[in-house]
Copies of this chain bind each other. A is one copy, B any other.
Amino acid sequence: MQALMQDQPLLISSMIAHARRVHPRAEIVSRTGAGTLHRSSYGEVERRARRVANALLALGVGMGDRVGTLAWNTHRHMELYFGVSGMGAVLNTINPRLFPEQVEYIVNHAQDQVLFFDTSFAPLVAALAPKLSAVKAFVCMTDRAHMPAGLPAGTLCYEELVQGASEDYAWPQFDERTASALCYTSGTTGNPKGVLYSHRSAYLHSMGLCAAGSAAISHRDSCLVVVPLFHVNAWGMPYAGAMSGAKLVLPGPALDGKSIYDLLRDERVTMALGVPTVWLGLLNHIDSEARPALQELCLERMLCGGSAIPPVMFTRCRNTLGATLMQAWGMTEMSPLGTVCSLLQSHDKASEEDKLRVQARQGRPVCGVELALKDEAGRRLPHDGVATGRLMVRGPWVLSAYYGSDASVLDEEGYFDTGDIANIDSDGYLQITDRAKDVIKSGGEWISSIDVENAVMGHPDVMAAAVIGIPHEKWQERPLLVVVPRHGSSPTRDEVLGYLASRVARWWLPDDVVFVSELPYSANGKVQKMKLREEFKQLNKPV
C-alpha cells in the first residue's frame, strides 16, 4: 500500500532555497587569493546562483551537461555548487593539484561544456585549452579589473557573466536520482575514475553530516572549511551549511598556521574541518609564537580525516586549542562521509588513556552507512574488535558504478569494497588497519603498516614514517620502516627499533630502518607506498 505523504524530491536547490528562507543572513566569509575577506550570505549565494543558472542556460548548458571547476574555497565556488547542480547540470570539481595530463584527462572524460577557473590557474588552463575539445566556454572567476593576461581567446569574466544574467529563475523540480556532481578519484594506478553523485545522495549525506551524533553542523556553528571544495564536495559542507545555516569560513589558498589562526580568531570559528597536516601547522604556529589560543579562540571541535592522525594530536588539540579532535573516515566513492569518532556516554568515566584509545579509532557509522567485514572468500566476519578483513560499505550515498562504465562495482550483496582492511568492535567503532594493497603478509598473517607507523610517530625524532612490505624468501614479506627524521635530529636504526620493540608485537617489528629526507606523496597528500616498495624491493635481509 502506498502512503499518502507529499512526493517532494530531495534536491540540492531545496537546500539553498531553505537557506534563503530560514537563514538568509548567515554568512559565507571567503579569503581571496589577495588576502582580503569577502563577506557574502546564503541569501546572496542563492540569488547569485539563480543568475549563474540563467547565464549557463544562455551558454547552452542543459540538464545533465557537465560543468567543470578549477577553484579554491571561495564564495564564487559556492555559487557554482548551487547554480550548476540546482539547474540540473552536473558540477565537476577538479583537483588543480593533479598533474596537467590528469586535469586534461578529467575535463575530456567528463566532457565538460564550460570550465570555470580561478585566476591562479590561468596558466594551467591556457596550456590545456587547445586539448579540451568539449569545452564551449572558459570563465575566469574574477571581475574585469583582475582578469589575468594570456587567457584562451574568448574567456568570459565571471562577474560580468553573473551580473549580466537575470535573478528571475525558479529552481526546476525533477527526479532526486538525477546526477548532481562528478568527482574524480585518483588511484595510484590507471586513470582517474569519476563518481557521479545524485541530488538524493547529496541531500541524505548532508542530513548525515548535520546529525548531532555525527559532525553536528548547526546554525550555532561557524565552520572553517579547510578541506577543498574541489575535493569530494568539501566533505559535503556547502550543502550541510545551507541545510543547517552554519556560517562558513572559506580560507582560499592560504593554509599556513598564521592564516588559519587569524581566521579562527576573527570569525569566531567553532568547528573546523581538514586534514592533519593543516592542524599540525596551526599547532606549531601557536607554539612558536606563543599565541594565547585558549583566550582568543572559541573552537569547540575539529573534524579530521584523509590520513592517519598521530595520537599525540588529540592531546595537543585539547590542551592548546581547547577543542575536541574528532576523526572521520570516508572516501570519494562515499560522498565521502562514512564514520565519525565521538565518545559514548559510557566513556565519560573512562581514563584519559582509554578515551584516547577510542578516539584513535575511525569512529562509528552514521545511519545510512552500513559497514561489513568480509574475508578473502567473501564470508562475513564478526564485529568483535579482533576479526580483521576487507571493509565493505553499502548505503544511499555510496556509488554503484564509476562514471562512463555500466559495470557495477558492487558484490552480490550490494556492497562496495573500500580497499581498506579493518576491524569493527561491538560498539560499532571502526579501526582501519591498512589499505589492502599496503598490508604486509608475513608467514600467512597480516601486519598492519598503519599500526606500526602510528607507534613510531610517537618517537620525538620521527617526523614522518611509512612501513612497507618487501619480498622475503621464507616469510613471503617482511616490514621495512622508512623514516623522515625531525629537522636537526639524527636517530639511529637501533634507537628507533628499540622504541618500537615495546609497542608492537615482536613479529611485527620491522627488519630494518632506512632514513630518507622526504616521502613521496600523491596529489591528495597520501604516501605513495607503491613507489617506496619499488625503490626498496632489493633491500631485504633474512630475519
CA distance A196 to B5 in the complex (A): 7
Report which residue of A22, A23, A220, A427 has the largest number of chain B beta carbons within 10 angstroms of its beta carbon: A22
Check A400–B25 contact: CB distance below 8 A. Answer: no
**Please, what's the 1-or-0 string for A354-398, where 1 marks a CB less than 8 Å from any CB in chain B?**
000000000011010011000000000001000000000011111
A216 CB–B CB distance under 8 Å: yes
Give which listed residue, B4, B208, B397, contacts A195 with CB less than 8 A: B4
Check B344–A219 contact: CB distance below 8 A. Answer: yes
Please, which residue of chain B has its CB at the minimum distance from the CB of A180?
A: B3
CB distance from A201 to the nearest CB of B (A): 4
Report which residue of A10, A207, A414 has the largest number of chain B beta carbons within 10 angstroms of its beta carbon: A207
Q: Which residues of B contact A383 (CB under 8 A)?
A: 21
CA distance A402 to B217 in the complex (A): 35
Check A211–B210 contact: CB distance below 8 A. Answer: yes
Q: Interface with B: A225-233, A243-251, A436-444, A520-528, which one? A: A243-251
Q: Which residues of B contact A213 (CB under 8 A)?
A: 210, 217-220, 244-245
A317 CB–B CB distance under 8 Å: no
Give which listed residue, B211, B220, B244, contacts A218 with CB less than 8 A: B211
Q: Which residues of B contact A219 (CB under 8 A)?
A: 213, 342, 344-345, 364
Q: Which residues of B contact A364 (CB under 8 A)?
A: 22-23, 219
A423 CB–B CB distance under 8 Å: no
Supposing A1-B178, A6-B410, A18-B367 touch, asked if A247 and B211 sit within 8 A by C-beta, the answer is: no
A466 CB–B CB distance under 8 Å: no
CA distance A3 to B176 in the complex (A): 9
Per the 8 Å Cβ criterion, residues 401-421 of A in contact with B are: 401-403, 410, 414, 416
A325 CB–B CB distance under 8 Å: no
A38 CB–B CB distance under 8 Å: no
CB distance from A404 to the nearest CB of B (A): 9
Check A396–B8 contact: CB distance below 8 A. Answer: yes
Give which listed residue, B15, B178, B410, contacts A3 with CB less than 8 A: B178
Q: Which residues of B contact A2 (CB under 8 A)?
A: 175, 177-179, 198
Identical chains bound together, number: 2
A428 CB–B CB distance under 8 Å: yes
Q: Which residues of B contact A158 (CB under 8 A)?
A: none
Check A15–B367 contact: CB distance below 8 A. Answer: yes
CB distance from A157 to the nearest CB of B (A): 29
CB distance from A207 to the nearest CB of B (A): 4
Please, which residue of chain B has its CB at the minimum distance from the CB of A395?
A: B8
Q: Which residues of B contact A7 (CB under 8 A)?
A: 177, 396, 400
CB distance from A468 to the nearest CB of B (A): 33
Give which listed residue, B15, B212, B245, B268, contacts A217 with CB less than 8 A: B212
Q: Which residues of B contact A64 (CB under 8 A)?
A: 1
Supposing A22-B428, A207-B207, A213-B244 touch, asked if A5 and B400 sit within 8 A by C-beta, the answer is: yes
CA distance A426 to B5 in the complex (A): 29
Q: Which residues of B contact A175 (CB under 8 A)?
A: 2
Check B220–A8 contact: CB distance below 8 A. Answer: no
A200 CB–B CB distance under 8 Å: yes
Check A3–B196 contact: CB distance below 8 A. Answer: yes
CA distance A317 to B50 in the complex (A): 45
Q: Which residues of B contact A270 (CB under 8 A)?
A: 345
Q: Which residues of B contact A244 (CB under 8 A)?
A: 211-213, 367
Check A4–B345 contact: CB distance below 8 A. Answer: no
CA distance A342 to B245 in the complex (A): 13
Check A220–B344 contact: CB distance below 8 A. Answer: yes
CA distance A414 to B178 in the complex (A): 22
CA distance A304 to B211 in the complex (A): 20
Give which listed residue, B24, B179, B370, B396, contacts A10 with CB less than 8 A: B396
CA distance A401 to B4 in the complex (A): 6
A82 CB–B CB distance under 8 Å: no
CB distance from A202 to the nearest CB of B (A): 9
A197 CB–B CB distance under 8 Å: yes
Check B399–A5 contact: CB distance below 8 A. Answer: yes
Report which residue of A15, A211, A221, A427 has the largest number of chain B beta carbons within 10 angstroms of its beta carbon: A211
Supposing A207-B207, A218-B213 touch, asked if A5 and B367 sit within 8 A by C-beta, the answer is: no
Q: Which residues of B contact A13 (CB under 8 A)?
A: none
CA distance A373 to B414 in the complex (A): 45
Give which listed residue, B63, B410, B428, contacts A1 with CB less than 8 A: B63
Report which residue of A3, A22, A371 has the largest number of chain B beta carbons within 10 angstroms of its beta carbon: A3
Q: Which residues of B contact A197 (CB under 8 A)?
A: 3, 5
Beyond A4-B400, A10-B204, 7 extra complex contacts between A and B, CB < 8 Å: A1-B179, A4-B179, A6-B410, A7-B400, A15-B367, A220-B343, A221-B345
7 chain-A/chain-B pairs, Cβ below 8 angstroms: A1-B64, A2-B175, A5-B177, A6-B396, A22-B367, A216-B218, A219-B345
Residues of A at under 8 Å CB distance from B? 1-8, 10, 15, 18, 21-25, 63-64, 90, 175, 177-180, 195-201, 204, 207-208, 210-213, 216-222, 243-245, 247, 268, 270, 342-345, 364-365, 367, 370-371, 383, 394-403, 410, 414, 416, 426-428
